[in-house]
Homo-oligomer: A and B are copies of this chain.
């Protein structure tokens, strides 16, 4: 027996999503097939609304429903500290910690010549003009701790040096709840280098 074509198409489409394999895609498709029409409609609308309703903040390139995002338009945020991240989704991760009350700037990626991601394709020019025109005194680089993230951090640190701002990079070390025995050499090495006196 052939799987009915509309079911096969739905399985193919669902399995293109990240972390969804063929088996999970099939389970999802069969679940949707036996769901109420109302339930399916609300799922479809929510997906269609994503791109239709969410844009990017004109200042910091965070996700936003309005011209300025919730953070840029919030008078309670500290406008003197700016945190540079790769993607808008990283802002959600940092906001969940409740440890940062400044503002953000989304680069839109990292420097990666092989992937065709250059200085021009990132929001670096916008970052520079923001830093020149605003009251920002401190810049925190919060890029991912991998080769591209590290080299982009170094590039930005060099680029921003003439602006005489306080530039820092978020700490690398052992993750909370982690185990020294099972951590990789690079992480332990960074943790030793970045030791803090008590």
Q: Which one, B18, B37, B53, contacts A51 given CB within 8 A?
A: B37
- Decide if A43 touches B47 in the complex (CB within 8 Å): yes
Closest-by-CB residue of B relative to A43 is B13
Our pick among B40, B47, B53, B65 for the contact of A32 (Cβ within 8 Å) is B47
Nearest Cβ distance between residue A47 and chain B, in whole angstroms?
A: 6
Interface window among A88-96, A129-137, A189-197: A88-96
* Number of residues from A at the complex interface, CB < 8 A: 54
Alpha-carbon distance between A2 and B64 when the two chains are bound, in angstroms = 10
Chain B residues lying within 8 Å of A70, measured Cβ to Cβ, are 1-2, 4
List residues of chain B with CB within 8 A of the CB of A47: 10, 13, 32, 40, 43-44
5 interchain pairs, CB-CB under 8 A: A4-B53, A10-B47, A40-B47, A40-B48, A40-B51
- Quote the shortest CB–CB distance from A98 to chain B (angstroms): 10
Contact of A65 among B6, B19, B29 (CB under 8 A): B6
Q: How far is the CA of A49 from the CA of B12 in the complex (A)?
A: 13
B63 & A7 in contact (Cβ 8 Å cutoff): yes
Q: Is the CB of B31 within 8 A of A24?
A: no
* A29-B50, A33-B50 known; A63-B24 Cβ under 8 A: no
Q: Tell me if A184 counts as interface (CB < 8 A to partner B).
A: no
The reply to whether the CB of A5 lies closer than 8 angstroms to some CB of chain B is: yes
CB interface residues, A 67-84, toward B, < 8 Å? 69-71, 74
